[in-house]
Structure 1
Amino acid sequence: MIYSRNASRDASGATPDLPSVCVEHYQGAPLSFMTVIATERLRALAEVAAVIPTTTRTIKQFKRIGLPGAPWRFAVTTNGGNILDNGVPDTRWRSSLDAEVRSGGATLSQVNAELLSRIDDSWATKFRVADHLFNYLVVDMARQPADFLAEWDAWCRARGWSASQQGRKIYSMPDAVCKSRAVAEVRRRLQDSGELAPEARLLAAGDGALDAEMLRTADAAIRPRHGELEQLGWTSPNLTLTPSAGILAGVEILDWFLAGAAFATPEPVLS
């Protein structure tokens, strides 16, 4: 839904000349944008569907964003590691997840130590731990060793983790931390409270490998013509592709959500 200036470009590499608004600042500088049309669409969607912002960002990173249509009853952050209920982290969800990660293979400390032994600052420019759940690197892609990701992923998979790359970021993620699981929990709570009908469909959008399981398990899903899943050629029987790439795809995704919400009782929508 939101794009940096660089990520706004369409398939030809041009930046569309459309009015946009800044929805995220970092260290006092504008960072992420939405077109004015997209902000209007998101507000309209929030009136007719249960919109669940869902992101790999940490809680702190998510709270930097001023998404139109807020406040949100639920949001999923940290790739499913945290569920926010009216902005407050659900400690029971997080505690049960932490216990599952500990019992499922390598600990975060072990993964951190192994990863740090495999990288150097000639190509890995940043190492970060996200909400004490997983880590990620920011890399110089031109200098990144060609075989690093495959070898690191193989080490992780033998120990209950996996590795994936989205642009300049390489994520090391425990198997238990998954957006689709957190989304299923939020959906259950909304249905139990009567806010969603039992037959309400689940619509989802995403562009990275960490979104794939969420897209696959949704009743219907959409992804843009850019990002990691586009590079992988990833598809699924329930999947729609946007005609456009870049910031224009954000508008197309919201139009697709609105069209889906028009034919049903309120639906959970993930973005």
Structure 2
Amino acid sequence: MIFASDLDQTLIYSVRSKGDMALEDMVPVELYEGRHISYMTKPALDKLRQLAGMLRFVPVTTRIPEQFNRIFGIKEQLQPEYVIVSNGGTILVNGRIDQEWHHFVREAVKSHCAESSEVAGLFDRIAASHWVKSSDLCDGLFYSIAVDRDNLPLDSLEELKQQLASLGWSYSLQGRKIYLVPEKVSKGAAIQYVKEKLASTYVYAAGDSLLDESLLLAADYAVAPVHGELGRSYSSHPHIRFTSARGALASEELLDSIMEHAGR
């Protein structure tokens, strides 16, 4: 059995996103430029270690490999064999890129989705310095755009969303970032590939955003923190269970839920 989980705002939290938890009650798990920037609650880290001993733990993240590698609390302490990064566009096996998946995804994007330059051109038509802080093409596959949420041109972004759909791309707003992603790059497709590689018959999954929805739908048992984009999009869902806790405490609740079900 597999436990496939998103990381940011699902298992790990920044000071901004942690909610009511006191920082001294949390454990640092990510180091960046000499400072800790992500944390887990102590019970959540203990539960994750326990769960990783019961199931094959597969971290799943929109982060590119270099960004995942900063999360020492996951990478070094738990040493997962498979890690899905770049929103499913890249799979690492013992730290090395799975070349079969790497080539498959990029050929699928090339064949079925508009080129990234065309998407960038559409976005540039509405972009302005008072709300766009930076824009990066990640892993050669998708755009991560840092924004000022208070100044977003919502009507223009809704129109962009419709244009992207016709080009085989999707739009997601998470926190202070907009993601523009080819539809052939998905966490759900990546976990199906890993499931086959591991000859697994059952997948537990957790994630908070719309970019995690394909992962959760591909799972047999799915949990989402209520504070995330999915929780804001659905009052209820036939396949996804939502936590009652918000912030970092949601990670403890979702891990408890999965451990209880897996232990039956």
Distance 2:258 2:101 in 1: 28
5+ unaligned residues in a row in structure 2: which ranges?
1-10
Distance 1:188 1:25 in 2: 33
**1:161 to partner: Cα distance:** 0.7
Aligned AA for 1:125?
A: K
Aligned to 2:33: 27
Aligned AA for 1:176?
A: K
Aligned AA for 2:50?
A: A
Tell me, yes or no, if structure 1 residue 5 matches structure 2 residue 15.
Answer: yes
Please say if residues 116 and 141 of structure 2, whose CA atoms lie closer than 8 Å, have aligned partners that are also in contact. yes
Please say if residues 57 and 80 of structure 2, whose CA atoms lie closer than 8 Å, have aligned partners that are also in contact. yes
TM-score by length of 2: 0.91
Aligned to 2:227: 226
Aligned AA for 1:141?
A: R
Distance 2:95 2:108 in 1: 24
Among residues 104, 107, 127, which one is paired with 1:99 in the alignment?
107
**1:18 to partner: Cα distance:** 6.2
Aligned to 1:176: 184
Range with bigger deviation, 170-179 or 236-245 = 236-245
**1:110 to partner: Cα distance:** 1.9
Distance 1:52 1:84 in 2: 10
**Matches of residues 134-149 of structure 1 in structure 2 within 5 Å?**
134-149=142-157
Tell me, yes or no, if structure 1 residue 133 matches structure 2 residue 141.
Answer: yes
| Residues 10-42 of structure 1 deviation map (CA, whole Å, 9 limit, x = unaligned) | xxxx33576211101221121000011111111
Distance 2:224 2:48 in 1: 17
Aligned to 1:268: none
Change (3 A) 1:120 1:17: closer
5+ unaligned residues in a row in structure 1: which ranges?
264-271
Distance 1:236 1:132 in 2: 33
| Residues 204-254 of structure 1 deviation map (CA, whole Å, 9 limit, x = unaligned) | 111101011211221111111201112212643222211200000011111
Change (3 A) 1:22 1:122: same
**1:174 to partner: Cα distance:** 0.4
Number of residue-to-residue matches in the alignment = 252
Tell me, yes or no, if structure 1 residue 15 matches structure 2 residue 21.
Answer: yes
Aligned to 1:117: 125
SS of the residue corresponding to residue 75 of structure 1 reads: strand
Aligned AA for 2:158?
A: A
Aligned AA for 1:212?
A: E
Distance 1:204 1:131 in 2: 24
Aligned AA for 2:38?
A: S
Aligned to 2:237: 236
Distance 1:165 1:173 in 2: 11
Please say if residues 204 and 222 of structure 2, whose CA atoms lie closer than 8 Å, have aligned partners that are also in contact. yes
SS of the residue corresponding to residue 112 of structure 1 reads: helix
Aligned to 2:79: 71
SS of the residue corresponding to residue 101 of structure 1 reads: helix
**Matches of residues 232-271 of structure 1 in structure 2 within 5 Å?**
232-233=233-234, 235-263=236-264
| Residues 27-74 of structure 1 deviation map (CA, whole Å, 9 limit, x = unaligned) | 112100001111111111111101110011111111110234521110
Distance 1:17 1:56 in 2: 25
Quote the RMSD (CA, aligned, Å).
1.5
Please say if residues 63 and 87 of structure 2, whose CA atoms lie closer than 8 Å, have aligned partners that are also in contact. yes
Please say if residues 129 and 135 of structure 1, whose CA atoms lie closer than 8 Å, have aligned partners that are also in contact. yes
Tell me, yes or no, if structure 1 residue 84 matches structure 2 residue 92.
Answer: yes
